[in-house]
Chains A and B, each alone.
Chain A
Amino acid sequence: MSDVNIETVRPSVWRKMRGNTGALIGGTLLAVIILIALLAPLIAPHDPIAQDLTRRLLPPFWHDRSVPEHLLGTDHLGRDYLSRMIYGARVSLGVGLGVILVSGTIGITLGLIAGYFGGWIDLVISFAITTRLSLPIVLVALAAVALGGASLTTLITVLGLLLWDRFAVVTRAAAQSLRHQEFIEGLRAIGASRTRILFLEILPNMRATILVVVSLEVANVILLEAALSFLGLGVRPPTPSWGLMISEGRDNILFDPWLIALPGSALCLLVLAVNLFGDGMRDITGPARK
């Protein structure tokens, strides 16, 4: 199904993508993880938060003591690990997407305005970017989540309000270079409104650039969510987040290291997929890479 979509949108991109192994592997892997997340209720063998204290810490299938109903074993509360892993993909991708929506909107708007108008507006927005960059992000996010009351909504809002800098930097530069292009000058001459020029002409022209930033930032957000949840100030139990699972498995690290090995590997795989896909897209759509 995706063949048809992509062919009609940008034939050249799809053709080039076939030649780019990284983008292909990353894209496929990402698609699989997204599918798993979407179909979680259908494919998860158990309820991810249902506890069974009589079957605690069952090992995964490669151990002798494993049981077939729990392919990847159970955690310290007897919850099915495979189901938690599957639902964990939802949390990672959901937070990634939610944060990008907030941070992307803020960053792209600021960047567009700064790059297009220049002058003192640019000075103010650039100053905001510099200030944002100097804040220790993990610490500020931790503090804001702790004070704002840890919940998924707070987490997404806080990260969204903090991580707009890369979007702003990149869109600002792109808007600066597009501002003096002939077709924009032409539109200005025929009296097109600023809003139209900014959002209907300049913005669509930076699609490719923005897509690359989205991939970088999604990876960044997924890692941050995991780190915050690991520190106990991100996603709240019993929601299955991979970072939280690593933190919960930490007490049993001596005898059951698979408890942290599994969700960690899932995290690596997802971030790797996003990065490979993003890097590939940069090679395909962007100007010659350094």
Chain B
Amino acid sequence: MLSFISKRLLVALLVCLTVSALSFGLMFVSGDPAIAIAGSGGRAEDAEAIRVAYGFDRPLVVQYLDWIGSALTGNLGQSIYFNVPVTEIIGNRAGVTLTLGFISFLVALVIAVPLGVAAALRPNGWIDRLALVIAVSGQAIPSFWLGLMAIVVFGVWYGWVPISGADTWQGYILPVIVLSYYAIPELMRITRSGMIDVLATDYVRAAKAKGLPMHLVISRHALRNAVLPLVSLSAVQLGQLLSGSIVIESVFALNGLGRLAWESLLRSDLPVVQAIILILSLLYVVLTTLADILNAVLDPRLRGGS
């Protein structure tokens, strides 16, 4: 168990390092970051001054080590646009994204798991068909478009909810619905297929044969094993919700990390973009690593393998 966890943590650490190098390298995709900051029409002297001021004239490795070193101490650099520490701006905006991501994830889970279980209990029954329709439509509808249509119908026509911003909790209603609708299909599919597999096993049939009521068969025996794949997928989905909320935040004018990243990109404020990419990637790595460890705790069979 301990060796599994340490091996998993080592991989996670390596991924973190690679990801940090990648988001650092992003600064150099366009060629010369100094010119990107000065603007393509900027004077050569300005670019040169920026180069020296930001340390772009040093070797890449030194710049990277410097960046990652200060990142470790909680310093992600200065925003070029606001001229305040990146961590400060991100700290102000992270709350909205985290709230939106976690609530949407919980809503998706609360709907997807019972629906998946019910669908698995009676394949081809009406619940199963309903679940299929939800899954198929959920995967085909672009979430930003669903958001806009929801604004038109519920915000403009009926006026039930505010059409933008998150000053009140009502502002979260539509974004949460839209984001969770995006996450439901996969969560439901994996619950359903996991349940169907488990329901066909000998121990579930034995439990049924000894006369255990169905709800106990499900809660005590079947669900525990069916949720194993759900744990890994949950980590992936939560990570995707947090990083995918960029489009939804822009649709609903929510001042979260995604919108911040988008605005920063439009004004070439690269340190902010780098930091957000780094934070979201690290969050994903932490989530999936935790899920793997949790899975190993829940299922002893996984501990032996690599």
A contacts, CB < 8 Å to B: 127, 130-131, 133-140, 142-144, 146-149, 219, 223, 226-227, 230-233, 243, 246, 250, 253-254, 257, 260-261, 264, 267-268, 271-272, 275-276, 290
Contacts and interface: CB of A to CB of B under 8 A. Distances in A.
Nearest to A128: B18
Interface stretch (B83-91, B107-115, B148-156): B148-156
Interface in B1-21: 11, 14-15, 18-19
Contacts of A137: 243
Interface centre among B139, B196, B242 (most CB of A within 10 A): B139
Interface centre among A130, A136, A257 (most CB of B within 10 A): A136
A271 B284 contact: no
A114 to B, nearest CB: 14
A130 B15 contact: yes
A165 B29 CA distance: 21
Given A257-B152, A271-B139, A134 B14 contact: no
A275 B139 contact: yes
B30 A272 contact: no
B265 A264 contact: no
A227 B249 CA distance: 12
A140 to B, nearest CB: 6
The interface residues of chain A, by DSSP majority, are classed as: helix
Nearest to A216: B139
Given A134-B19, A144-B26, A257-B152, A230 B247 contact: yes
Contacts of B136: 272, 275-276
A246 B144 contact: yes
B250 A134 contact: no
Nearest to A269: B140
A246 B26 contact: no
B30 A131 contact: no
A130 B12 CA distance: 9
Q: Identify the 5 closest CB pairs spanning chains A and B, nearest first.
A: A136-B243, A290-B193, A264-B145, A147-B30, A272-B140
B21 to A, nearest CB: 10
6 contacts: A139-B243, A143-B265, A144-B26, A253-B148, A257-B152, A268-B142
B26 A134 contact: no
Interface of B: 11, 14-15, 18-19, 22, 26, 29-30, 36, 136-137, 139-142, 144-145, 148-149, 151-152, 156, 193, 196-197, 236, 239, 242-244, 246-247, 250, 258, 261-262, 265-266, 273, 276-277, 280-281, 284-285, 288
A142 B145 contact: no
A134 B281 CA distance: 5
B244 A260 contact: no
Nearest to A148: B29
B145 A246 contact: yes
Nearest to A220: B139
B7 to A, nearest CB: 12
Given A144-B29, A246-B148, A139 B139 contact: no
B247 A138 contact: yes
A267 B145 contact: yes
Interface centre among A134, A230, A264 (most CB of B within 10 A): A134
Contacts of B152: 253, 257, 260-261
B26 A147 contact: yes
A260 B148 CA distance: 8
Contacts of B156: 253-254, 257
Contact of B18 (A131, A136, A219, A264): A131
Contacts of A260: 145, 148-149, 152
B151 A253 contact: yes
Contacts of B145: 226, 246, 260, 264, 267-268
Contacts of B250: 231
Contacts of B262: 142, 231
A264 B149 contact: yes
Contacts of A140: 26, 277
A148 B26 CA distance: 10
Contacts of B139: 219, 271, 275
Given A136-B242, A138-B243, 13 more contacts: A130-B15, A133-B236, A134-B15, A137-B243, A143-B26, A143-B277, A231-B247, A243-B142, A264-B145, A271-B142, A275-B136, A290-B196, A290-B197
Contacts of B11: 127, 130
A250 B149 CA distance: 10
A265 to B, nearest CB: 9
B284 A136 contact: yes
A271 B140 contact: yes
B15 A127 contact: yes
A252 to B, nearest CB: 11
A241 to B, nearest CB: 12
Contacts of B288: 133-134
B193 to A, nearest CB: 4
A219 B185 CA distance: 15
Contacts of A149: 30
B243 A148 contact: no
A250 B284 contact: no
